[in-house]
Structure 1
Amino acid sequence: MKYVTYLYDNKESVGFLNESDNAVYPLSFADMNALIEAPKEKLEVAIKEAKNKILLSDVTLLAPIPRPKQDVICLGINYKAHAIEELSSGMTLMPGTIIATGTPSGVGMGFDPPKFLKSGDMVECSIEGIGTLCNVVR
């Protein structure tokens, strides 16, 4: 399941994407920050109650969290193993903090031999309590 922020009838809303029928199911949260902060039980109830669907072709998908409560923190993949411990020792990580791990452009060229994403590789982005977005490189 993928949670999305979308624009429909000039109104920004949140919902989840059902890829099998190419539709967005609206959820009753003010925005993605409210969804992230909601107790798991409230989210589960909202998903079960989501009956109306809007065709994906009728909405405009927006950034998943258009206005995060905290800055987005980006880290090179080489720092992934100790990133959270290192970050939390110098700052308070609040619910909604986005930590993106990845490698800056051009770093792969510096390896011997060079390392690049290839067809079939999977890139994942996870938010605890929400889910994982998986993309396969083609």
Structure 2
Amino acid sequence: MRALFVALVALAAPVLAEPLDTEEKFEAYVGGRTMFFHLGDGRIYASESYLEDRKVRWSRAPGDCLDGDWYEDDGLICFVYENNPEPQCWSVELTRGGLKATSVRGLTPLTIFEAGDGEPQECLGPKVGV
């Protein structure tokens, strides 16, 4: 009976969470889309547009954006932004509730809402006269 239970759990695991741990899997899922992030409470924390050639545009505040790049490194999805050359790497899974990203540096896991195609952020550019 225990062997049957273990076998059923093993078969069900891919349904519960699928790692998006390669460039091809991740790009196929997010490419050309804008995703919205929350910290588990449902309130929007930030958004990120996934552009051509593995470029990204991150925004934590409306109108304030950072450009960057993403790449895969040993099963993790890593991001480098124009204001910080230090890679930020995440384990990304597709779950029943959407994407979930867990930082390798112990940051709070992010839950990702899917916004769909063609909804890039509005970026106002650098602050002028401040």
Please say whether Structure 1 and Structure 2 have the same fold, judged by a TM-score greater than 0.5: no
Specify the TM-score bucket, using the shorter chain as the normaliser. Answer: under 0.3
Which structure has the larger Rg over C-alpha atoms? 1
The TM-score with structure 2 as length reference comes to 0.24
Structure of higher RCO (CA pairs closer than 8 Å, 6+ residues apart): 2
- More helix by percentage: 1
- More strand by percentage: 2
The TM-score with structure 1 as length reference comes to 0.23
